[in-house]
Chains A and B, each alone.
Chain A
Amino acid sequence: MPFGDAHNQVKMKFSSEEEYPDLSNQHNNHMAKYLTPAMYRQLRERATPNGFTVDGVIQTGVDNPGHPFIMTVGCVAGDEETYEVFKELLDPVIEDRHGGYKPSDKHKTDLTSSNLKGGDDLDPDYVLSSRVRTGRSVRGFCLPPHCSRGERRAVEKLSIEALASLSGDLNGKYYALKNMTDAEQQQLIDDHFLFDKPVSPLLLSSGMGRDWPDARGIWHNDNKTFLVWVNEEDHLRVISMQKGGNMKEVFNRFCTGLTKIETLFKERNHAFMWNEHLGYVLTCPSNLGTGLRAGVHVKLPNMSKNAKFEEVLKKLRLQKRGTGGVDTAAVGGVFDISNADRLGFSEVELVQMVVDGVKLLVEMEKKLEKGQSIDDIMPAQK
């Protein structure tokens, strides 16, 4: 739907070679690695039942050759069917992105938080905050790159109903972006809850900014530890967070809240998009599986300057970001450290990696502070 090109009938009068994007020069994303001219020729004849085409899938990757901090995916899904209709492209992208995950592999979901070991004792002198987020897509609607205003509003309406029936620790309120008062807006900014219109070209090029701020909003509980974004990069983003290092508590709340929400949506005949191969289906192929990013803001000024920092992260299957989010740089030695994987591991397993890995990184930081070496506590590849 966005930008007309997706339904440009004139395109088919041009040969595949004439339409094939120029990925030769500077492109460095997963889509550019796999989309050959022959594959493009084959895929351009197709569309999903909702009219999403291969050009819709790849536009973001064509427009954004590569990112300095992170190898981008370069393609998105416009609906649940995209992953099937364009599997020739998306299967290899998924395999490359998710550590060799094969088309025949099965994904395991585990949202039983009592299966997590430890995680309640990360040192708060170093670990400033803990957070777990995931996304969910509501079956029966197109995804943010492709959905219409009518669909987006329907997703919002369902979400408001579902969230309004939460109670206890999860009792809360919904704030629609388009009629927030200045006071509400300021409060949400101060709480670090407010999400803004996307400015990242990675998102804008795929059409996720359309009609902003219509049908976008934020729900959070009274305690400000559980929050849901509606219609940002995915239909729903669910976030549990709090200051300090008690990841176990954060994950407990995450699992409880998410399970309750899923039940409410099912009752309304709009289950979450899920299948046994891809797990939870989300807009960006990088978020398939668990869609889960569990992370901390942690002070690692010495560790981050150590020559082995990157290697340690890799072995621990962790990823670093700046504290502003995915496209930002670290400020003042404080890093956002989170799980690198999404697909092929369960939620419990991924949070376990963060808990264990961050515990080790903090130990290393303390050693480096004292001028000691960290060679003897280097981890094996997880």
Chain B
Amino acid sequence: MTTIMPFGNTHNNFKLNYKVEDEFPDLSKHNNHMAKILTKELYGKIRDRQTPSGYTLDDVIQTGVDNPGHPFIMTVGCVAGDEESYEVFKELLDPVISDRHGGYKPSDKHKTDLNFENLKGGDDLDPNYVLSSRVRTGRSIKGFTLPPHNSRGERRAIEKLSVEALTSLDGEFKGKYYPLKSMTDAEQEQLISDHFLFDKPVSPLLTCAGMARDWPDGRGIMHNDNKTFLVWVNEEDHLRVISMQPGGNMREVFKRFCVGLQKIEEIFKKHNHGFMWNEHLGYILTCPSNLGTGLRGGVHVKLPKLSTHAKFDEILTRLRLQKRGTGGVDTASVGGVFDISNADRLGSSEVAQVQLVVDGVKLMVEMEKKLEKGEAIDSMIPAQK
């Protein structure tokens, strides 16, 4: 009655006994990238595949099947379970990537530029409007499967490697690692007040993809003593690296980001576990929306007048920027304060994306000031970047 190793594909093979029509998900009410691309024919063609670690098409799409659409943002609706997912399921993921990343083609090459000196300006955003500045990205560690798929053993191995790497940092990056499962109440309170603590995901976009399994095992937070550089371990990606500080000095934030990230990457490489990267997709992350730079550079900025202006969304589109509420991706804005960040991830470099934020936010603050004085902003509407 029992089956011995390897068992990975047993259930997938069993499902093949059912016709394609019977297994193909009902996507008729769905509005996400996966649902746009995945036809019954395509499903039929690739449903019998699996990656070397046993990840299947149904795994890739489960989150998109379970979550038809989101009111604030067009969701991706699919995730990678490992580095190979992007290759094995390319017939689905290439068009999703193209749709999500402004027409990025399977033959395109992505440019990485983490040289902070290439950024122009960015140190003078008005702190009366720009309350805080932040740059984050994700990194995946080669040789392990990704959060939707990984086992406890893998997750713990990633944590172990990360703790070694992070606790060896010094200077302004010197800090401490707090595993989620053995945090004291006092530590937890402090991390919450600092806005550093990440909680067990509640968003069904993440939980349906399996990223919350075994919580809080293998998860933790490292931050430097200055509280301006922080790393999340085993949340939505293996690593999320964040540089942040109050006020508008995005230049300083980006410099710390680049320097810290490169130090971390060197240490991982020494342990023979470099980051997942290739010249087509750049940095490989769990969600196809984060491929390329995986970078979200943003500010919390007061735009009560501009945000109610008829052209607000158009301006954002032209500046290649995106708005969110200050609670993060699934939230609404509160009190006219918005999280404004770059919309792009793939096809432009880190420096280029942060430049868009710096220039774009500067312009929007100017517009806000004009509107405060009752003046028109029509002459300032930018061209499409």
Closest CB-CB distance, B229 to chain A, in whole Å? 28
Task: Give the contacting residue for B150; candidates A7, A8, A48, A53; CB below 8 A.
Answer: A8
Residue from the set B55, B151, B207 with the largest chain A CB neighbour count within 10 Å: B151
- With a CB–CB cut-off of 8 A, which chain A residues contact B5? 9, 12, 45
Is A349's beta carbon under 8 Å from chain B?
A: no
Say whether B53 contacts A9, CB under 8 Å: yes
Is B265's beta carbon under 8 Å from chain A?
A: no
Is A91's beta carbon under 8 Å from chain B?
A: no
* Closest chain B residue, CB of each to CB of A59: B213
Is A345's beta carbon under 8 Å from chain B?
A: no
* Closest chain B residue, CB of each to CB of A3: B210
Task: Give the contacting residue for A149; candidates B3, B8, B25, B59; CB below 8 A.
Answer: B25
Say whether A5 contacts B213, CB under 8 Å: yes
Say whether B151 contacts A146, CB under 8 Å: no
Is A371's beta carbon under 8 Å from chain B?
A: no
Interface size on A (CB < 8 Å)? Answer: 51
User: Taking A18-B157, A45-B4 as contacts, is the C-beta distance between A3 and B148 under 8 angstroms?
Assistant: yes
* Closest chain A residue, CB of each to CB of B218: A22
Choose, from B15-23, B119-127, B164-172, B294-302, the stretch at the interface.
Answer: B15-23
Q: How far is the CA of A205 from the CA of B211 in the complex (A)?
A: 11
Is A173's beta carbon under 8 Å from chain B?
A: no
Q: Which A residues between 127 and 151 are near B, CB-CB below 8 angstroms?
A: 146, 148-151
Q: Which B residues between 38 and 60 are near A, CB-CB below 8 angstroms?
A: 50, 52-56, 58-59
Choose, from A206-214, A293-301, A361-369, the stretch at the interface.
Answer: A206-214
Is B313's beta carbon under 8 Å from chain A?
A: no
User: Taking A48-B3, A59-B213, A63-B212 as contacts, is the C-beta distance between A10 and B145 under 8 angstroms?
Assistant: yes
User: Taking A51-B14, A150-B22 as contacts, is the C-beta distance between A7 and B214 under 8 angstroms?
Assistant: no
User: Taking A3-B210, A63-B215 as contacts, is the C-beta distance between A11 and B151 under 8 angstroms?
Assistant: yes
Closest CB-CB distance, B241 to chain A, in whole Å? 25
Say whether B58 contacts A9, CB under 8 Å: no
- With a CB–CB cut-off of 8 A, which chain A residues contact B10? 7, 47, 49-51
* Closest chain A residue, CB of each to CB of B15: A148
Is B384's beta carbon under 8 Å from chain A?
A: no
- With a CB–CB cut-off of 8 A, which chain A residues contact B15? 148, 150
Say whether A7 contacts B25, CB under 8 Å: no
User: Taking A7-B54, A9-B54, A18-B152 as contacts, is the C-beta distance between A49 and B19 under 8 angstroms?
Assistant: no
Is A81's beta carbon under 8 Å from chain B?
A: yes
Is B372's beta carbon under 8 Å from chain A?
A: no
Is A154's beta carbon under 8 Å from chain B?
A: yes
Is B2's beta carbon under 8 Å from chain A?
A: yes
Say whether B8 contacts A8, CB under 8 Å: yes
Say whether B7 contacts A150, CB under 8 Å: no
Q: Which B residues between 49 and 82 are near A, CB-CB below 8 angstroms?
A: 50, 52-56, 58-59, 62, 65-66, 81
User: Taking A47-B3, A81-B1, A204-B207 as contacts, is the C-beta distance between A6 and B22 under 8 angstroms?
Assistant: no
Say whether B54 contacts A4, CB under 8 Å: yes
Say whether B25 contacts A214, CB under 8 Å: yes
Is B366's beta carbon under 8 Å from chain A?
A: no
User: Taking A9-B8, A46-B2, A84-B1 as contacts, is the C-beta distance between A62 and B22 under 8 angstroms?
Assistant: no
Say whether A14 contacts B214, CB under 8 Å: no
Q: How far is the CA of A146 from the CA of B59 in the complex (A)?
A: 13
Q: Which A residues between 1 and 59 are near B, CB-CB below 8 angstroms?
A: 1-12, 14-15, 18-22, 25, 45-53, 55, 59
* Closest chain B residue, CB of each to CB of A199: B204
- With a CB–CB cut-off of 8 A, which chain A residues contact B157? 14, 18
Say whether B151 contacts A22, CB under 8 Å: no
- With a CB–CB cut-off of 8 A, which chain A residues contact B148? 3-4
Q: How far is the CA of A3 from the CA of B126 in the complex (A)?
A: 46
Is A85's beta carbon under 8 Å from chain B?
A: yes
Task: Give the contacting residue for B213; candidates A1, A3, A49; CB below 8 A.
Answer: A3
- 6 A-B residue pairs with CB within 8 Å: A50-B11, A55-B151, A59-B213, A150-B23, A151-B18, A209-B66
> Chain A interface (Cβ within 8 Å of chain B)?
1-12, 14-15, 18-22, 25, 45-53, 55, 59, 62-63, 81, 84-85, 146, 148-151, 153-154, 178, 204-205, 209-212, 214
3 nearest A-B residue pairs (beta carbon): A14-B153, A150-B18, A3-B210
